[in-house]
Amino acid sequence: MATETSLAERLLQGDKRALARAITLVENDDPRGWDLVREVYPHTGGAAVLGLTGAPGAGKSTLISALTKARRAQERDVAVLSIDPSSPFTKGALLGDRIRLTDHFLDPGVFIRSMANRGALGGLSEATLQAALLMDAAGKDDVFLETVGVGQAEIDVIDHADTVVLILIPGGGDSIQALKAGVMEIPDIIVVNKADHPMTDTMVREVRSVLSLAPHEKGTWRVPIVKTQAYRDIGIDELIEQIDAHRAYIQERGELEERRRRNLRSEVLALTTSRIRRRLDAALASDERFQALLQQVVERRLDPASAATEVLGRLDAGDLAID
pLDDT at 278: 86
Determine the Cα–Cα distance for residues 236 and 69; give it in Å rounded to an integer: 10
| pLDDT at res. 171 | 80
Strand order of the β-sheet with 142-146 is 110-116, 78-84, 142-146, 48-54, 163-168, 189-192, 225-227
- pLDDT for the residue 84: 66
The answer to whether residues 63 and 229 touch, using CB atoms and an 8 Å cutoff, is: no
8 Å CB contact between 296 and 302: yes
pLDDT given at position 85: 55
Per the DSSP assignment, residues forming a β-bridge with 83 are 115
The whole-angstrom separation of Cα 80 and Cα 150 is 18
pLDDT, tens only, 96-128 = 445 557 677 788 999 999 886 544 433 355 677
Which pLDDT score, from 0 to 100, does residue 156 have?
Answer: 60
What is the pLDDT, as a whole number, of residue 97? 47
Are 132 and 48 contacting, i.e. CB atoms less than 8 angstroms apart? no
CATH superfamily of 45-253: P-loop containing nucleotide triphosphate hydrolases (3.40.50.300)
Q: How far apart are CA 189 and CA 194, in angstroms?
A: 16
In terms of phi and psi (left: phi > 0; alpha: psi -120 to 50; beta: otherwise), the region of 171 is left
106, 143, 146, 294 from 47: Cα distances, Å: 21, 7, 16, 47
Q: Which stretches of the chain drop beneath a pLDDT of 50?
A: 1, 86-97, 118-123, 152-154
- Non-local CB neighbours of 116 within 8 Å, separated by 6+ positions: 27, 83, 84, 85, 86, 87, 91, 92, 93, 94, 125
pLDDT score at 195: 95
User: CA-to-CA distance for 135 and 143, rounded, in angstroms?
Assistant: 7
Amino acid at 120: A
Q: Give the Cβ contact number of residue 225 at 10 Å.
A: 18
Q: Are 191 and 165 in contact (CB under 8 A)?
A: yes
Query: 147 near 124, Cβ under 8 Å?
Result: yes
Identity (one letter) of the amino acid at 104?
H
Contact 163, 266 (CB under 8 A): no
- In the 8-state DSSP scheme, what is residue 24? H
Phi-psi region of 143 (alpha: psi -120 to 50; beta: other; left: phi over 0): beta
Q: Where are the domains of the chain?
A: 1-43, 45-253, 268-316
